[in-house]
């Protein structure tokens, strides 16, 4: 059932991206998505690089 885990993480990442785009904090985004704060920071760092 590894496929379900991958799909779930992709959904969490998409939700995290939406939260960050709305200005949610890393902590709040982590709480809402179930991702670790470290993972959310990685996602945010990726967004910051894309914007430059």
Torsion sign over Cα 38, 43, 47, 50: positive
**Is pLDDT of 45 > 50?**
yes
Query: Regarding predicted confidence, which is higher, 48 or 9?
Result: 9
**Where do the domains of the chain lie?**
2-51
pLDDT, residue 3, reads 67
CB 29 within 8 A of CB 11: no
pLDDT-derived band at 1 (thresholds 50, 70, 90) equals very low
For the chain, give the percent of residues with pLDDT over 90: 71
Residue 27 has, within 13 A of its CA and on its CB side, a CA count of 0
């Amino acid at each position: 059932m590894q496929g379900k885990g991958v799909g779930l993480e992709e959904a969490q990442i998409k939700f995290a991206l939406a939260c960050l785009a709305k200005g949610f904090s890393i902590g709040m985004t982590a709480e809402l998505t179930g991702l670790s704060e470290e993972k959310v920071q990685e996602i945010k760092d990726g967004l910051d690089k894309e914007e430059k």
